[in-house]
Structure 1
Amino acid sequence: MELHVKDRLYFPQLLPQQNTFMEYAMKRAILKKVGLTAEDQEKFEIKEKEDGKGIVWNIEKDMAQPHAVEFTPDELEYIKKGCEALAEQPCPDDFWALVERIYNTIPKK
């Protein structure tokens, strides 16, 4: 799955906030895969806005160099669980577009 900076910023919101210990470990592994590193911050020129209300980055570089990540079937089920818990909450369209891409990644049974 290819993720852009905005997707990677949204990802922590997708995951359940209460977990068993095993789910907590899986959540940490997922966040490690998708998290933004110091190198990403430099490469994509990620900065906080001067007014402190939001983040900006170089969108051209982001679109040209998406972050490729592979999730295990268990991780995808865990992510799906988090998405389903949010289904009734209002969120921006691009957030739901990420959820849709995740669902399209899950193998059909």
Structure 2
Amino acid sequence: AAPLTSLNVVQVESELGGVETINQNSFSTSRNHGGKYLYITTKEMGYGQNPFAKMNGSNVKSIDSTIIGGRPIVGWYYKWDASGHQQGTFEYQKTSINAPFNTMRTSIYIQ
């Protein structure tokens, strides 16, 4: 299995901000988000373990995943539910399942 090589936030979706695509080097959303729901989509390439996702320091759960590739699987999209939060910092971390066993992190400030 391929080691974990990248980890990024690729989309933020909320009632007030709609669907916003996030560029790879963004530190913040450009839209104001919030409302009844808040979902963050991450993209990872390679195989990882021991994930954690937090919004303002509180754990959030993955509610959906989509495989990237087929044979072999090369990565995943994960959708995280941060509903109840209106704004703040989303953080995500995962460690590669094999050498070099690197830990990757990403974060974004959601307005």
What's the TM-score, normalizing by structure 1? Answer: 0.27
Q: If you compute each CA radius of gyration, which structure gives the higher value, 1 or 2?
A: 1
What's the TM-score, normalizing by structure 2? Answer: 0.27
**Larger helix proportion, structure 1 or 2?**
1
**Larger strand proportion, structure 1 or 2?**
2
